[in-house]
Amino acid sequence: MMLTGVEEKLKECWKAVQCHVSKCVETVDCDEFPLHTWNQATIDSYYRYCYEKQVLPEVNSSNDKLKLSGPKEEVKATQIEFYRLKSIKAEEARILSYAHIAVWMFETRNNNFEKYSLNLNAVIEIAFTNHEESVRIDK
């Protein structure tokens, strides 16, 4: 009889803990983790960011989806950071793909030819493909 009372209290405590956790902790599923476009430095930076926000990032090995668990406000911030980095890396990959289509060069004063940077090369190639007469370069 006494053991049953202890078990009931244990169940009540377990329910109280679960209720508290569900109020304070959130788990969110994100898109696939872009391992093919993220380098190790980007992954390390994102994991460090998650650590600082006390959010646990997990990548599901079967579908490569990212799951974030932690304090609700911080999970939202790490989710936003994930999509921001994913967008930046996707844009970098897109630019890099354009940069490999053609190599644009310029002639220097001593009659040598030098290649433009990959980013500038991509901007020029995109403009050329779109039949634009000029390219605007923002610093």
- Could you tell me the residue ranges of all domains in the chain? 25-89, 100-139
pLDDT score for 1 = 44
pLDDT score for 100 = 67
Instruction: Give me the residue label for tokens 């911080």.
Output: 74
Residues 6+ apart with CB under 8 A from 106: 113, 114, 116
pLDDT-flagged residues of the chain (< 50): 1
Residues 6+ apart with CB under 8 A from 38: 46, 85, 89
CATH 3.30.1370.10 fits 25-89, yes or no: yes
